Structure 1
Amino acid sequence: MPFTSRYLIILTILLMLVSVVNIADKELLAPVAEVVRAELGMSDTQLGAIRSAVFLAALVSQLFWGPLSDRWVRKNVITLGAIIWSALTWLTAFVGNFPQLLSARASMSFAEGCFNPSSFALITDSAPKEKHGLLIGLMSLTYPVGTAAALIVASAIGTAQWRQPFVIFGIIGIALGVLVFFIVREPPRGGMAEYGGKFSLDAMRRVWTTPSALLGFALDTAQATINWSLAFWAPIYFTRYRIAPNADAAALALLPAILGFVLGALIGGIAIDRLRQRTERAPAIVALIAMIGGLGAAFITFNLFEMTSVMLAGFVLGLVGYMAMPAVNLVFFAVVPPETKASTIATSNVILNLVIAIISFLIGVVSDAAELRVAFGGVVLAMFAVGIGASLALLRTLPRDIARQRELIEARVKRD
């Protein structure tokens, strides 16, 4: 029996709140990084190492959480992970040196890895297919909202009191994890508009032989590297180049870009839903527009040094560039077997976390050796170029792979 509209609204709001806390916990260090670096006596290389450890731990976590999400009750996976990562976030408030901070952030990130594979598969399995673009757009906007929550809370409390936000978000996350356990209902795998099978290695091999899925991995890696790099390094960049007068102002200066991210996620999801009524290439078209527009906006942003101009350019960068976010998961869900949704997202997370871990460390090293603008700006521009290439290729492969997936579902229906 389909879930009621009332339940779907409650489910969406609850998962969005959990996602906001998930992202905020990961980004709590960004607005206070300069203060923490000074207090704990760290270098940019060590900051980069912490950022790398976060994404390496997230990478390893997907090897555990992804298959578990395809085999176990997904709401229980989210509940367990949320309570663990929130407790570790709370413990971060008590670190006293670089090794302790590294360990706390890495272990928190491992536990956070439960959320994406479980939540995106669960919410799309609970709702009609024609609403998937909107739902994924809503879930996608929690990334910038979570980042904004971290920036605003840290700035409101004051970066000098950098430990308090870790306690606040830790307590909130534990409470939300308990709510997930009591409110969320587990939908059938494959959802309302598809015919799901049982997870198997053969099904995952099909994912790895689907060109559009591989291109989706590339697009996901490009957009994620851009967004996570902006979230962590932009406040440091604003302070270092005197675009903002202090760390608190630097954290708040990122808010226009985050507002752009929120609007971009919504616009991207809605645009794909409407465009998909006319063409199966809709996710690729929206992603291509986002990547081309984002490249131009990023080039302009890194050549401005006055705060108002940078904030305006950052808003445009967020608005246009983040339209690609909903496209990624819609590509995956259109071309992979329904029973591999969580594992497909986990696979993509493994790839992007490895890339981000390496790049985060390299940004720190290059920043110490040369300057932050070269390292940070170069990475953002290069990743937009990768996204353009992946989107162009998807225009060619997506219709064929969607047809192949449709044949699989029809064969299952006839067989049973």
Structure 2
Amino acid sequence: MDTPSPTPVVRSESGSSDSEPRPVSGRYAWSVFALAFGLMLTDFIDRQIIVATFPLLKSEWGLSDTQLGALVSAVAVTVAIGALPFALVADRWSRTKCIALMGTVWSLAAMACAVAGSYTQMLAARAAIGLGEAGYGPAGGALTAGLFPQRRRATMVGALQAAGPLGVVLGVSLGGLMVPSLGWRLTLAVFAAPGLILALLFLRVREGRAPGAAPAAAPGESPARERGAVAELFRSRTAVAAYLGGATQLVVLSTLYTWLPSYLTRTHGYTSARAGAVTAVAVIASAAGTVVLGYAADRAAAVRARRKLTLPAGLALLALTLLTSAFAWVPAGPLQLGLIVAGAFTVAAAVGPVPAVVMDVVDPKVRATALGMVTLIQNLFGLAVGPLLTGWLSDALGIADALALMPLFCAVAAAALWTASRSYERELRVEGGSDAPLPAAL
């Protein structure tokens, strides 16, 4: 789609379009957001639908829980490996073209999963999905951040990230319904095509910025050398602590997404469809938490900036209490399921604020690179750890004990987020990249 920008495109003397992103209308910003949301939705369907096939893969290939968990963790590992390099490319080349390319790669890899002839081939195809996803998150997040004003950034980034849980819902619930009748191969193949179509549509998107926002360096200008850009990402104490807090919170969230269906089928005797439906409710709750609690963090920060981090820190401790109680002490029944759903809602509290805070304290020229670092750390030390560690604990202790232990990571997340809040107000940048800090009370 073409940009309905109120500012005409400026052309250089050579006749080429000026590469500086221009102010865009709110309507266009929302249309690009909708496209980015849809692509991330298909991303997480492709990523998570494998969970619905666990019982058949375990039976057909004789896999352990550790091997099953590795099929999920492999995606997170390759996302982590590719996130920063692809983010650097996005900041210097074109965020929209990176999104189109990455979406095409992971959609083709998802199709390869459907025709895998062995566990090794499946693991390699799953890793390729992660390689494609690695460039999408940073580029998509930076593109979205530039289209909306700073005061709404945590809300919009959280809303974009909510496509992840919703994709998980569709992957788990639809997968649970389709696998018994279609088999795991056809089920995996069905969802590859929509991602490919949406990825190609991004070739028609033009980058822009929110009206009134100061221009940042456009992709292709190479405003900072790679070494300096990476150093900038670790210069901020706030960013470093936020990286850790966001990652450890995702250890718990990824555990729920991956192993709750297996827990319900093994310990409660649920069918795959019913387990998928219950898990879908928990995932929807986490998606709601991503948006609602991201908005709450923005509102809290309007009174005192550091509350953008202290609020999710407190909610991490609440999630620890809810989930530990559910899996360790409360017997099976409605109360247990209610605690799991409430825990899923609160454990998502940091999903929106963490990347928003990181973008608030780094140079605007390296925002996509900063999101690449967020993606790297959250995937390598969060999303990759949860499924694999839980699978290992399940093989050793049983799945119920494994799920009772994993919420302890919420305590680490709370400590890291509180630490980040102590320096956030001092390091906070005003829109446009000024080094002058904002006042503590906004």
Q: One fold, TM greater than 0.5? A: yes
Corresponding residue for residue 40 of structure 1: 61
C-alpha contact 2:364 2:432 (8 A) present in aligned 1: no
Structure 1 range deviating more: 155-164 or 206-215:
155-164
- CA drift at 1:131: 2.3
Distance in 2 of aligned mates of 1:313 and 1:50: 28
Residue 204 of structure 1 pairs with residue 230 of structure 2: yes
Residue 376 of structure 1 pairs with residue 403 of structure 2: yes
In the TM superposition, what are the counterparts of 1:307-386 in structure 2 within 5 Å?
307-356=333-382, 357-379=384-406, 381-386=407-412
Amino acid at match of 1:207: L
Corresponding residue for residue 213 of structure 2: 193
- CA drift at 1:176: 0.7
In the TM superposition, what are the counterparts of 1:131-280 in structure 2 within 5 Å?
131-159=152-180, 161-182=183-204, 184-187=205-208, 193-194=213-214, 196-197=216-217, 198-200=223-225, 201-242=227-268, 244-280=269-305
In the TM superposition, what are the counterparts of 1:15-34 in structure 2 within 5 Å?
15-34=36-55
- CA drift at 1:323: 2.1
* Structure 1 residues 359 and 141: alpha-carbon distance in aligned structure 2, compared to 1, 3 A threshold: closer
TM-score, structure 1 normalization: 0.91
Distance in 2 of aligned mates of 1:129 and 1:283: 13
Distance in 1 of aligned mates of 2:371 and 2:246: 10
Distance in 1 of aligned mates of 2:37 and 2:385: 29
C-alpha contact 1:129 1:192 (8 A) present in aligned 2: no
Matched residue of 1:199: which SS?
Answer: coil
Amino acid at match of 1:111: G
Distance in 1 of aligned mates of 2:127 and 2:435: 43
Amino acid at match of 1:105: R
Distance in 2 of aligned mates of 1:337 and 1:224: 26
The number of residue pairs the alignment matches comes to: 406
* Structure 1 residues 220 and 153: alpha-carbon distance in aligned structure 2, compared to 1, 3 A threshold: same
Distance in 2 of aligned mates of 1:359 and 1:156: 25
Corresponding residue for residue 291 of structure 1: 316
Structure 1 range deviating more: 115-124 or 280-289:
280-289
Structure 1 range deviating more: 141-150 or 64-73:
64-73
- CA drift at 1:159: 3.7
Residues 146-166 of structure 1 deviation map (CA, whole Å, 9 limit, x = unaligned): 100101221232345222232
Amino acid at match of 2:63: M
What is the percentage of aligned positions where both structures have the same residue? Answer: 23
* Structure 1 residues 83 and 305: alpha-carbon distance in aligned structure 2, compared to 1, 3 A threshold: farther
Corresponding residue for residue 414 of structure 1: none
- CA drift at 1:359: 4.9
Relative to its length, the structure with more helix (as a share) is 1
Distance in 1 of aligned mates of 2:386 and 2:357: 25
- CA drift at 1:29: 0.8
Residue 118 of structure 1 pairs with residue 144 of structure 2: no
C-alpha contact 2:252 2:347 (8 A) present in aligned 1: no
Corresponding residue for residue 72 of structure 2: 51
* Structure 1 residues 371 and 281: alpha-carbon distance in aligned structure 2, compared to 1, 3 A threshold: same
Residue 281 of structure 1 pairs with residue 306 of structure 2: yes
Corresponding residue for residue 18 of structure 2: none
C-alpha contact 2:103 2:133 (8 A) present in aligned 1: yes
Distance in 1 of aligned mates of 2:376 and 2:164: 18
Corresponding residue for residue 10 of structure 2: none
Amino acid at match of 1:162: W
* Structure 1 residues 162 and 402: alpha-carbon distance in aligned structure 2, compared to 1, 3 A threshold: same
C-alpha contact 1:21 1:173 (8 A) present in aligned 2: yes
- CA drift at 1:289: 2.8
Matched residue of 2:351: which SS?
Answer: helix
Amino acid at match of 2:393: V
- CA drift at 1:239: 1.6
* Structure 1 residues 49 and 137: alpha-carbon distance in aligned structure 2, compared to 1, 3 A threshold: closer
TM-score, structure 2 normalization: 0.86
- CA drift at 1:191: 8.8
Distance in 1 of aligned mates of 2:361 and 2:400: 39
Q: Which runs of 5+ in 1 are unaligned?
A: 412-416
C-alpha contact 1:58 1:113 (8 A) present in aligned 2: yes
Distance in 2 of aligned mates of 1:7 and 1:191: 12
- CA drift at 1:93: 1.1
C-alpha contact 1:256 1:312 (8 A) present in aligned 2: no
- CA drift at 1:195: 5.2
- CA drift at 1:408: 6.0
C-alpha contact 2:44 2:164 (8 A) present in aligned 1: yes
C-alpha contact 1:283 1:330 (8 A) present in aligned 2: no
Amino acid at match of 2:140: S
- CA drift at 1:369: 2.3
Distance in 2 of aligned mates of 1:267 and 1:154: 27
- CA drift at 1:310: 3.1
Amino acid at match of 2:259: W
